Structure 1
């Protein structure tokens, strides 16, 4: 994303061309939001993050894309020092804020065999991401 921003800045500085708009970025850019809530005092933090891909953990050999998405977007317990009450336990929940036209998924896998089997048996993917918005 830094290179893209640099190209846009240079184009504007030259003044001879309109601002550069990457045709690929317009198809794959999206944002996710997360809400972190302290379990001690209930203080919440909300943040948006721009993304161009989603990195999912492969749960096990029999995992489907839908199960990996469900695991990523489910609420999870995290350790975080609360600024209000010094509590250390929080929950975090991710969701899509905006959706891309094309979703690029990076699969974190333990071994190559798991990934190859997943693609051969279950690809191509058309997934309902509605529950995660």
Structure 2
């Protein structure tokens, strides 16, 4: 599997390649399978796309960046620090970086990390497929 960008890298790539017709075409081709496609699945599909060999490594990252959520530093439930997993066998998920640092209401029960985008428990995206433009 190709490497996937971190949320901060993805944000930069989305800005750099905004309006790029090739990247847009690749994204649309992948979203025909599922609009809420997980970045891990997008990477697999992109590798099998018939035009993938024509893309540079940076363009492949720019396509995958469309499936990576925006950056976040804290969990919306417990406010502990979190990170987006971009390595290992199962990338594309948020995880707590220091579960011992979990505090608040969410710390009482184990939970998946949910990024806090400044909207408290109502906002953010804890899973794959965050539609970005």
- Higher Rg of the two aligned structures: 1
Q: TM-score, normalised by structure 2?
A: 0.24
Q: Higher strand share goes to which structure?
A: 1
TM-score by length of 1: 0.24
